[in-house]
Amino acid sequence: MSTALDAYWMPFTANRQFKQSPRLLTRAEGMHYIDDQGRQVLDGAAGLWCVNAGHNRPKIVQAIQQQAAELDYAPPFQMGHPKAFELAERLVKLLPEELTKVFYTNSGSEAVETALKMAIAYHRARGEGQRTRLIGRERGYHGVNFGGISVGGISTNRKMFGTMLGGVDHIRHTHDLARNAFSIGLPAYGAEFADDLERVIALHDASTIAAVIVEPVAGSTGVLIPPQGYLQRLREICDRHGILLIFDEVITGFGRTGSPFAAQTFGVVPDLMTVAKGLTNGCVPMGAVFARQSVHDVFMNGPEHLIEFFHGYTYSAHPLACAAALGTLDTYEEDGLLTRAAEMEGYFAEQLHSLKGEPNVIDVRNVGLVGGVELTPIAGEPAKRGFAAFLDCWNQGVLIRTTGDTIALSPPLIIARDQIDQLIGAIRTALRRL
Ligand SMILES: Cc1ncc(COP(=O)(O)O)c(CNc2cccc(C(=O)O)c2)c1O
Protein backbone atom coordinates (compact mmCIF):
# COMPACT_ATOMS: atom_id res chain seq x y z
CA MET A 1 0.00 0.00 0.00
CA SER A 2 1.69 3.22 -1.04
CA THR A 3 0.34 6.15 0.97
CA ALA A 4 0.99 9.70 -0.20
CA LEU A 5 3.09 11.26 2.57
CA ASP A 6 3.58 14.82 1.46
CA ALA A 7 0.68 16.80 2.95
CA TYR A 8 0.89 15.65 6.60
CA TRP A 9 3.26 17.86 8.66
CA MET A 10 4.13 15.49 11.52
CA PRO A 11 4.52 16.52 15.18
CA PHE A 12 7.80 16.10 17.08
CA THR A 13 9.22 14.25 14.05
CA ALA A 14 12.21 14.53 11.72
CA ASN A 15 9.75 14.82 8.82
CA ARG A 16 12.22 14.57 5.91
CA GLN A 17 13.99 11.53 7.35
CA PHE A 18 10.68 9.82 8.25
CA LYS A 19 9.19 10.32 4.79
CA GLN A 20 12.27 8.77 3.17
CA SER A 21 11.73 5.63 5.28
CA PRO A 22 8.27 5.77 6.90
CA ARG A 23 7.22 3.63 9.87
CA LEU A 24 3.48 3.01 9.54
CA LEU A 25 1.35 1.08 12.01
CA THR A 26 -1.85 -0.48 10.68
CA ARG A 27 -3.24 -2.66 13.50
CA ALA A 28 -2.77 -3.33 17.21
CA GLU A 29 -3.75 -6.04 19.68
CA GLY A 30 -2.70 -6.47 23.33
CA MET A 31 1.06 -5.93 23.60
CA HIS A 32 1.64 -5.68 19.84
CA TYR A 33 1.40 -3.42 16.85
CA ILE A 34 1.29 -4.71 13.27
CA ASP A 35 3.12 -2.48 10.82
CA ASP A 36 2.31 -1.92 7.15
CA GLN A 37 4.69 -4.76 6.21
CA GLY A 38 2.68 -7.16 8.39
CA ARG A 39 5.47 -7.31 10.99
CA GLN A 40 4.49 -7.85 14.65
CA VAL A 41 6.09 -5.18 16.89
CA LEU A 42 6.23 -5.45 20.69
CA ASP A 43 5.01 -2.15 22.18
CA GLY A 44 7.55 -1.17 24.86
CA ALA A 45 6.23 2.39 25.00
CA ALA A 46 2.46 1.85 25.42
CA GLY A 47 2.19 3.95 22.26
CA LEU A 48 3.27 7.23 23.85
CA TRP A 49 3.01 6.25 27.55
CA CYS A 50 -0.77 6.02 27.14
CA VAL A 51 -2.00 2.52 26.23
CA ASN A 52 -1.78 1.21 29.79
CA ALA A 53 -4.29 -1.65 29.29
CA GLY A 54 -2.80 -2.86 26.03
CA HIS A 55 -4.31 -2.36 22.58
CA ASN A 56 -7.82 -2.93 21.27
CA ARG A 57 -9.38 -4.08 24.52
CA PRO A 58 -12.96 -5.28 23.77
CA LYS A 59 -14.82 -3.35 26.49
CA ILE A 60 -13.27 -0.09 25.35
CA VAL A 61 -13.89 -0.75 21.66
CA GLN A 62 -17.52 -1.69 22.33
CA ALA A 63 -18.06 1.38 24.55
CA ILE A 64 -16.81 3.69 21.79
CA GLN A 65 -18.83 1.96 19.06
CA GLN A 66 -22.04 2.05 21.08
CA GLN A 67 -21.59 5.66 22.13
CA ALA A 68 -20.93 6.85 18.59
CA ALA A 69 -24.25 5.33 17.57
CA GLU A 70 -26.20 6.87 20.49
CA LEU A 71 -24.98 10.40 21.28
CA ASP A 72 -22.23 11.77 19.04
CA TYR A 73 -21.83 15.15 20.66
CA ALA A 74 -23.30 17.14 23.56
CA PRO A 75 -22.44 20.78 24.39
CA PRO A 76 -20.67 20.93 27.77
CA PHE A 77 -21.41 24.63 28.46
CA GLN A 78 -24.68 24.88 30.47
CA MET A 79 -25.60 21.42 29.13
CA GLY A 80 -24.54 17.87 30.01
CA HIS A 81 -24.86 14.15 29.39
CA PRO A 82 -25.01 11.39 32.05
CA LYS A 83 -21.68 9.67 31.28
CA ALA A 84 -19.72 12.85 32.06
CA PHE A 85 -21.10 12.77 35.61
CA GLU A 86 -20.84 8.98 35.96
CA LEU A 87 -17.17 9.08 34.93
CA ALA A 88 -16.34 11.91 37.35
CA GLU A 89 -17.84 9.96 40.26
CA ARG A 90 -15.83 6.86 39.34
CA LEU A 91 -12.58 8.80 38.95
CA VAL A 92 -12.97 10.47 42.32
CA LYS A 93 -13.25 7.03 43.96
CA LEU A 94 -9.76 6.16 42.65
CA LEU A 95 -8.15 9.39 43.91
CA PRO A 96 -6.79 10.45 47.28
CA GLU A 97 -9.90 11.49 49.24
CA GLU A 98 -8.94 15.18 49.23
CA LEU A 99 -9.34 15.37 45.43
CA THR A 100 -13.09 15.47 44.82
CA LYS A 101 -13.65 17.49 41.60
CA VAL A 102 -13.02 16.66 37.92
CA PHE A 103 -12.62 19.30 35.16
CA TYR A 104 -12.40 17.70 31.70
CA THR A 105 -10.07 18.70 28.87
CA ASN A 106 -8.98 17.05 25.63
CA SER A 107 -5.27 16.48 26.20
CA GLY A 108 -2.52 16.72 28.75
CA SER A 109 -1.46 20.11 27.41
CA GLU A 110 -4.97 21.44 27.88
CA ALA A 111 -5.10 19.92 31.37
CA VAL A 112 -1.92 21.81 32.25
CA GLU A 113 -3.24 25.12 30.87
CA THR A 114 -6.46 24.55 32.81
CA ALA A 115 -4.64 23.82 36.08
CA LEU A 116 -2.38 26.88 35.72
CA LYS A 117 -5.38 29.15 35.04
CA MET A 118 -7.31 27.51 37.88
CA ALA A 119 -4.43 28.19 40.28
CA ILE A 120 -4.19 31.88 39.42
CA ALA A 121 -7.97 32.32 39.44
CA TYR A 122 -8.17 30.53 42.81
CA HIS A 123 -5.88 33.07 44.47
CA ARG A 124 -7.77 35.96 42.85
CA ALA A 125 -11.03 34.55 44.19
CA ARG A 126 -9.47 34.48 47.67
CA GLY A 127 -8.43 38.13 47.44
CA GLU A 128 -4.78 37.43 46.61
CA GLY A 129 -4.87 38.38 42.94
CA GLN A 130 -1.22 39.39 43.06
CA ARG A 131 -0.26 35.71 43.19
CA THR A 132 0.27 35.25 39.44
CA ARG A 133 3.74 33.69 39.21
CA LEU A 134 4.01 30.00 38.30
CA ILE A 135 6.99 27.86 39.26
CA GLY A 136 8.08 24.91 37.16
CA ARG A 137 11.18 22.74 37.33
CA GLU A 138 14.25 22.41 35.12
CA ARG A 139 13.83 19.51 32.68
CA GLY A 140 10.06 19.50 33.32
CA TYR A 141 7.63 18.68 30.54
CA HIS A 142 4.10 20.02 30.72
CA GLY A 143 2.92 19.86 27.13
CA VAL A 144 3.26 22.27 24.28
CA ASN A 145 0.86 25.16 24.85
CA PHE A 146 2.28 28.51 25.95
CA GLY A 147 1.54 27.90 29.61
CA GLY A 148 3.06 24.44 29.50
CA ILE A 149 6.25 25.50 27.73
CA SER A 150 6.56 28.48 30.08
CA VAL A 151 6.61 26.33 33.22
CA GLY A 152 8.36 23.55 31.33
CA GLY A 153 12.12 23.28 31.61
CA ILE A 154 13.32 21.65 28.39
CA SER A 155 15.03 24.28 26.23
CA THR A 156 14.25 22.64 22.87
CA ASN A 157 10.54 22.98 23.70
CA ARG A 158 10.90 26.70 24.48
CA LYS A 159 13.64 28.33 22.40
CA MET A 160 11.69 28.50 19.10
CA PHE A 161 8.66 30.26 20.55
CA GLY A 162 9.57 33.77 21.52
CA THR A 163 9.12 35.71 24.71
CA MET A 164 5.54 35.02 25.83
CA LEU A 165 7.08 32.94 28.59
CA GLY A 166 7.11 35.52 31.38
CA GLY A 167 5.75 35.32 34.93
CA VAL A 168 7.47 32.03 35.66
CA ASP A 169 10.55 30.71 37.39
CA HIS A 170 12.03 27.24 37.88
CA ILE A 171 13.45 25.15 40.68
CA ARG A 172 16.39 22.90 39.95
CA HIS A 173 15.94 19.38 38.58
CA THR A 174 16.67 16.31 40.71
CA HIS A 175 19.14 14.40 38.49
CA ASP A 176 22.31 13.47 40.42
CA LEU A 177 24.45 10.93 38.55
CA ALA A 178 27.34 11.35 40.96
CA ARG A 179 25.40 10.08 43.97
CA ASN A 180 22.40 8.20 42.59
CA ALA A 181 23.50 6.35 39.44
CA PHE A 182 21.89 2.91 39.05
CA SER A 183 19.52 3.44 41.98
CA ILE A 184 16.86 0.74 42.14
CA GLY A 185 13.61 2.65 42.77
CA LEU A 186 13.72 6.01 44.54
CA PRO A 187 17.26 7.43 44.84
CA ALA A 188 18.55 7.85 48.38
CA TYR A 189 20.06 11.31 47.85
CA GLY A 190 18.49 14.61 46.84
CA ALA A 191 15.49 15.35 49.09
CA GLU A 192 17.23 18.63 49.80
CA PHE A 193 16.85 19.63 46.16
CA ALA A 194 13.27 20.61 47.13
CA ASP A 195 14.76 23.40 49.28
CA ASP A 196 15.59 25.22 46.04
CA LEU A 197 11.95 26.29 46.15
CA GLU A 198 12.79 28.38 49.22
CA ARG A 199 15.42 30.19 47.12
CA VAL A 200 12.82 31.02 44.45
CA ILE A 201 10.34 32.12 47.11
CA ALA A 202 12.96 34.38 48.70
CA LEU A 203 13.59 35.98 45.31
CA HIS A 204 9.94 36.64 44.37
CA ASP A 205 8.19 36.57 47.78
CA ALA A 206 5.46 34.00 48.38
CA SER A 207 2.79 36.69 48.05
CA THR A 208 3.42 36.74 44.28
CA ILE A 209 3.46 32.97 43.69
CA ALA A 210 0.32 31.02 42.71
CA ALA A 211 1.57 27.48 42.25
CA VAL A 212 4.39 25.03 41.73
CA ILE A 213 3.96 22.35 39.05
CA VAL A 214 6.06 19.18 38.89
CA GLU A 215 5.82 15.74 37.38
CA PRO A 216 6.13 13.26 40.30
CA VAL A 217 8.31 11.26 37.89
CA ALA A 218 9.75 13.46 35.13
CA GLY A 219 9.01 11.40 32.03
CA SER A 220 9.76 13.17 28.76
CA THR A 221 13.09 14.51 29.94
CA GLY A 222 14.32 10.96 30.45
CA VAL A 223 12.61 9.34 33.46
CA LEU A 224 13.91 11.16 36.54
CA ILE A 225 12.70 9.40 39.69
CA PRO A 226 12.02 11.66 42.74
CA PRO A 227 14.61 11.25 45.51
CA GLN A 228 13.27 9.78 48.76
CA GLY A 229 11.54 12.54 50.72
CA TYR A 230 11.72 15.12 47.92
CA LEU A 231 8.01 15.38 47.12
CA GLN A 232 7.11 15.47 50.82
CA ARG A 233 9.43 18.48 51.24
CA LEU A 234 7.86 20.27 48.27
CA ARG A 235 4.46 19.74 49.85
CA GLU A 236 5.63 21.13 53.20
CA ILE A 237 7.19 24.23 51.63
CA CYS A 238 4.08 24.93 49.54
CA ASP A 239 1.89 24.60 52.63
CA ARG A 240 4.13 26.94 54.59
CA HIS A 241 3.78 29.66 51.96
CA GLY A 242 0.18 29.20 50.78
CA ILE A 243 1.37 28.05 47.34
CA LEU A 244 -0.69 25.46 45.44
CA LEU A 245 1.10 22.22 44.49
CA ILE A 246 0.20 20.78 41.09
CA PHE A 247 1.18 17.20 40.20
CA ASP A 248 1.33 16.66 36.48
CA GLU A 249 0.38 12.95 36.31
CA VAL A 250 -0.23 12.77 32.57
CA ILE A 251 2.34 9.96 32.45
CA THR A 252 2.27 8.60 36.01
CA GLY A 253 -1.53 8.46 36.28
CA PHE A 254 -3.58 5.26 35.97
CA GLY A 255 -1.26 2.64 37.40
CA ARG A 256 2.13 3.47 35.90
CA THR A 257 3.95 3.68 39.26
CA GLY A 258 2.09 0.83 40.98
CA SER A 259 -0.88 2.71 42.49
CA PRO A 260 -3.73 4.42 40.62
CA PHE A 261 -1.74 7.66 40.89
CA ALA A 262 1.81 8.60 41.87
CA ALA A 263 0.31 10.73 44.65
CA GLN A 264 -0.63 7.45 46.34
CA THR A 265 2.64 5.68 45.46
CA PHE A 266 4.67 8.50 47.03
CA GLY A 267 2.18 9.46 49.75
CA VAL A 268 1.89 13.13 48.82
CA VAL A 269 -1.44 14.75 47.89
CA PRO A 270 -1.33 17.77 45.54
CA ASP A 271 -3.93 20.53 45.38
CA LEU A 272 -4.46 20.00 41.65
CA MET A 273 -3.57 17.00 39.46
CA THR A 274 -3.44 16.85 35.66
CA VAL A 275 -4.04 13.61 33.76
CA ALA A 276 -4.61 12.41 30.18
CA LYS A 277 -3.11 9.40 28.29
CA GLY A 278 -4.13 6.41 30.44
CA LEU A 279 -7.45 8.09 31.24
CA THR A 280 -8.86 6.62 27.99
CA ASN A 281 -6.07 4.08 27.34
CA GLY A 282 -4.98 6.41 24.52
CA CYS A 283 -8.07 5.52 22.47
CA VAL A 284 -9.91 8.86 22.41
CA PRO A 285 -8.24 12.18 23.27
CA MET A 286 -9.12 13.27 26.79
CA GLY A 287 -7.50 14.98 29.76
CA ALA A 288 -8.67 16.20 33.13
CA VAL A 289 -7.76 18.28 36.13
CA PHE A 290 -8.55 16.81 39.56
CA ALA A 291 -9.04 19.46 42.25
CA ARG A 292 -9.31 19.56 46.01
CA GLN A 293 -12.77 20.43 47.32
CA SER A 294 -11.16 23.43 49.05
CA VAL A 295 -9.90 24.82 45.73
CA HIS A 296 -13.23 24.27 43.99
CA ASP A 297 -15.28 25.81 46.80
CA VAL A 298 -13.44 29.14 46.65
CA PHE A 299 -14.93 29.61 43.16
CA MET A 300 -18.47 28.81 44.30
CA ASN A 301 -19.37 32.29 45.50
CA GLY A 302 -21.44 35.20 44.22
CA PRO A 303 -24.79 35.12 42.36
CA GLU A 304 -25.72 31.55 41.43
CA HIS A 305 -26.78 32.47 37.90
CA LEU A 306 -23.21 33.54 37.04
CA ILE A 307 -20.49 31.30 35.59
CA GLU A 308 -17.89 30.68 38.31
CA PHE A 309 -14.84 29.71 36.20
CA PHE A 310 -14.60 31.24 32.74
CA HIS A 311 -12.76 28.39 31.05
CA GLY A 312 -13.57 25.27 29.02
CA TYR A 313 -13.41 23.64 25.61
CA THR A 314 -15.92 22.70 22.90
CA TYR A 315 -15.01 19.05 23.33
CA SER A 316 -14.80 19.04 27.15
CA ALA A 317 -16.50 15.88 28.49
CA HIS A 318 -16.94 14.62 24.92
CA PRO A 319 -19.36 11.62 24.94
CA LEU A 320 -16.96 9.38 23.00
CA ALA A 321 -14.11 10.21 25.39
CA CYS A 322 -16.31 9.62 28.43
CA ALA A 323 -17.45 6.26 27.05
CA ALA A 324 -13.85 5.27 26.28
CA ALA A 325 -12.77 6.29 29.77
CA LEU A 326 -15.55 4.29 31.42
CA GLY A 327 -14.63 1.23 29.36
CA THR A 328 -11.00 1.83 30.30
CA LEU A 329 -11.74 1.98 34.04
CA ASP A 330 -13.78 -1.24 33.71
CA THR A 331 -10.79 -2.90 32.03
CA TYR A 332 -8.31 -1.59 34.60
CA GLU A 333 -10.49 -2.83 37.43
CA GLU A 334 -11.20 -6.26 35.90
CA ASP A 335 -7.52 -6.93 35.21
CA GLY A 336 -6.20 -5.31 38.41
CA LEU A 337 -4.05 -3.01 36.29
CA LEU A 338 -4.02 0.00 38.62
CA THR A 339 -1.74 -1.92 40.99
CA ARG A 340 -0.12 -4.51 38.67
CA ALA A 341 2.97 -2.33 38.13
CA ALA A 342 3.74 -2.85 41.82
CA GLU A 343 3.60 -6.63 41.30
CA MET A 344 5.84 -6.46 38.19
CA GLU A 345 8.22 -3.79 39.54
CA GLY A 346 10.72 -6.23 41.03
CA TYR A 347 11.15 -8.37 37.92
CA PHE A 348 11.14 -5.33 35.63
CA ALA A 349 13.83 -3.64 37.77
CA GLU A 350 15.96 -6.82 37.84
CA GLN A 351 15.93 -7.17 34.06
CA LEU A 352 16.32 -3.44 33.41
CA HIS A 353 19.31 -3.08 35.75
CA SER A 354 20.97 -6.09 34.10
CA LEU A 355 21.85 -3.54 31.37
CA LYS A 356 24.39 -1.97 33.74
CA GLY A 357 27.79 -2.64 32.19
CA GLU A 358 26.50 -2.75 28.62
CA PRO A 359 28.28 -0.36 26.20
CA ASN A 360 27.63 3.36 26.87
CA VAL A 361 25.13 2.79 29.72
CA ILE A 362 25.74 5.47 32.37
CA ASP A 363 22.55 5.12 34.42
CA VAL A 364 19.47 2.93 34.85
CA ARG A 365 16.38 4.30 36.64
CA ASN A 366 13.07 2.68 37.51
CA VAL A 367 9.84 2.83 39.48
CA GLY A 368 6.73 0.73 38.85
CA LEU A 369 6.65 -0.07 35.13
CA VAL A 370 8.57 2.97 33.94
CA GLY A 371 12.28 2.85 33.29
CA GLY A 372 15.12 4.93 31.90
CA VAL A 373 18.46 3.82 30.47
CA GLU A 374 20.80 6.80 30.05
CA LEU A 375 23.51 6.48 27.40
CA THR A 376 26.72 8.41 26.83
CA PRO A 377 26.06 10.91 24.02
CA ILE A 378 28.16 10.66 20.87
CA ALA A 379 30.59 13.60 21.13
CA GLY A 380 29.13 16.62 19.36
CA GLU A 381 26.01 14.73 18.27
CA PRO A 382 23.53 14.69 21.18
CA ALA A 383 20.52 12.35 20.77
CA LYS A 384 22.12 10.49 17.86
CA ARG A 385 22.95 7.40 19.90
CA GLY A 386 19.47 7.42 21.40
CA PHE A 387 17.81 7.55 18.01
CA ALA A 388 20.08 4.79 16.69
CA ALA A 389 18.95 2.59 19.60
CA PHE A 390 15.32 3.36 18.75
CA LEU A 391 15.84 2.41 15.07
CA ASP A 392 17.77 -0.77 15.92
CA CYS A 393 15.01 -1.95 18.28
CA TRP A 394 12.35 -1.05 15.69
CA ASN A 395 14.18 -3.21 13.14
CA GLN A 396 14.21 -6.00 15.74
CA GLY A 397 10.42 -5.70 16.07
CA VAL A 398 10.40 -3.80 19.36
CA LEU A 399 9.08 -0.25 19.86
CA ILE A 400 10.82 1.88 22.48
CA ARG A 401 10.86 5.62 23.16
CA THR A 402 14.08 7.58 23.32
CA THR A 403 14.42 11.12 24.57
CA GLY A 404 17.81 12.61 23.86
CA ASP A 405 20.25 9.83 24.71
CA THR A 406 17.95 8.14 27.22
CA ILE A 407 15.82 5.09 26.46
CA ALA A 408 12.44 5.57 28.14
CA LEU A 409 10.41 2.42 28.76
CA SER A 410 6.73 2.45 29.70
CA PRO A 411 5.16 -0.78 28.44
CA PRO A 412 1.44 -1.53 28.75
CA LEU A 413 0.74 -2.67 32.32
CA ILE A 414 -0.37 -6.08 30.99
CA ILE A 415 3.21 -6.96 29.98
CA ALA A 416 4.29 -10.53 30.82
CA ARG A 417 7.70 -11.60 32.12
CA ASP A 418 8.76 -13.15 28.81
CA GLN A 419 7.86 -9.89 27.05
CA ILE A 420 9.99 -7.93 29.53
CA ASP A 421 12.80 -10.35 28.61
CA GLN A 422 12.21 -9.69 24.90
CA LEU A 423 12.18 -5.90 25.47
CA ILE A 424 15.41 -5.85 27.47
CA GLY A 425 17.02 -8.39 25.13
CA ALA A 426 16.37 -6.17 22.11
CA ILE A 427 17.89 -3.18 23.92
CA ARG A 428 20.96 -5.22 24.89
CA THR A 429 21.43 -6.34 21.30
CA ALA A 430 21.08 -2.75 20.07
CA LEU A 431 23.53 -1.38 22.64
CA ARG A 432 26.16 -3.91 21.61
CA ARG A 433 25.86 -2.77 18.01
CA LEU A 434 25.87 1.01 18.56
C1 LIG B 1 3.78 15.30 32.16
C2 LIG B 1 3.10 15.68 30.89
N3 LIG B 1 2.28 16.76 30.86
C4 LIG B 1 1.65 17.12 29.73
C5 LIG B 1 1.82 16.40 28.56
C6 LIG B 1 1.09 16.85 27.30
O7 LIG B 1 0.08 15.94 26.99
P8 LIG B 1 -0.51 15.97 25.48
O9 LIG B 1 0.59 15.47 24.56
O10 LIG B 1 -1.70 15.02 25.55
O11 LIG B 1 -0.91 17.39 25.19
C12 LIG B 1 2.63 15.26 28.55
C13 LIG B 1 2.76 14.48 27.30
N14 LIG B 1 3.93 13.71 27.24
C15 LIG B 1 4.41 13.17 26.09
C16 LIG B 1 3.68 13.21 24.93
C17 LIG B 1 4.23 12.62 23.80
C18 LIG B 1 5.50 12.02 23.84
C19 LIG B 1 6.19 12.02 25.03
C20 LIG B 1 7.56 11.39 25.10
O21 LIG B 1 8.26 11.63 26.09
O22 LIG B 1 7.93 10.67 24.20
C23 LIG B 1 5.66 12.58 26.15
C24 LIG B 1 3.30 14.91 29.73
O25 LIG B 1 4.14 13.84 29.78
Q: Each residue of 369-385: pLDDT tens digit?
A: 999 999 999 999 999 99
For ligand 1, the distance from its centroid to the CA atom of residue 43, given in whole angstroms, is: 17
What was the pLDDT predicted at 187? 98
Pick the CATH number of 3-52+337-433 from 3.90.1150.10, 3.40.50.300, 3.30.565.10, 3.40.50.620: 3.90.1150.10
Give the residue whose CA is nearest to atom 23 of ligand 1. Answer: 220
For ligand 1, the distance from its centroid to the CA atom of residue 305, given in whole angstroms, is: 37
What was the pLDDT predicted at 144? 97
Record the pTM.
0.98
The pLDDT tens digits of the residues spanning 198-242 come to 999 999 999 999 999 999 999 999 999 999 999 999 999 999 999
Ligand 1 pocket by Cβ (under 6 Å): 48-49, 107-109, 112, 141-143, 215, 219-220, 248, 250-251, 276, 401, 403
What was the pLDDT predicted at 165? 80
Pairing of strands 406-409, 370-375: antiparallel
What was the pLDDT predicted at 162? 87
What was the pLDDT predicted at 2? 62
Closest ligand 1 atom to Cα of 252 = 1
What was the pLDDT predicted at 166? 85
**Domain-wise residue ranges, the chain:** 3-52+337-433, 62-335
What was the pLDDT predicted at 164? 81
Contacts 24+ apart (CB under 8 A), 25-34: 28/55, 28/56, 29/55, 29/56, 30/54, 30/55, 30/56, 30/412, 30/414, 31/55, 31/411, 31/412, 31/414, 31/415, 31/416, 31/419, 33/399
**Ligand 1, from 220, 390, 402: best to mutate by most atoms within 8 Å of Cβ?**
220
The pLDDT tens digits of the residues spanning 36-80 come to 999 999 999 999 999 999 999 999 999 999 999 999 999 999 999
- DSSP 8-state assignment for residue 261: S
| % helix, strand, coil for the chain, step of 5 | 40, 20, 40
**Ligand 1, from 10, 48, 114: best to mutate by most atoms within 8 Å of Cβ?**
48
* Overall size of the chain counted in residues: 434
For ligand 1, the distance from its centroid to the CA atom of residue 249, given in whole angstroms, is: 10
Q: What is the CATH number of domain 62-335?
A: 3.40.640.10
Residue ranges of the chain with per-residue pLDDT less than 70 = 1-2
Closest ligand 1 atom to Cα of 285 = 10
Give the residue whose CA is nearest to atom 18 of ligand 1. Answer: 48
> Is the CA virtual torsion 260, 353, 53, 105 positive or negative?
positive
Contacts 24+ apart (CB under 8 A), 329-335: 329/87, 329/90, 329/91, 329/94, 330/59, 330/63, 331/53, 331/57, 331/59, 331/60, 331/281, 332/52, 332/53, 332/254, 332/255, 334/59, 335/53, 335/414
For ligand 1, the distance from its centroid to the CA atom of residue 356, given in whole angstroms, is: 28
Closest ligand 1 atom to Cα of 401 = 22
* Residue (of 290, 298, 296, 241) closest to 264 by Cα position: 290
396 by Cβ neighbours in 10 Å (0-12 / 13-18 / 19+) ranks as middle
What was the pLDDT predicted at 340? 98
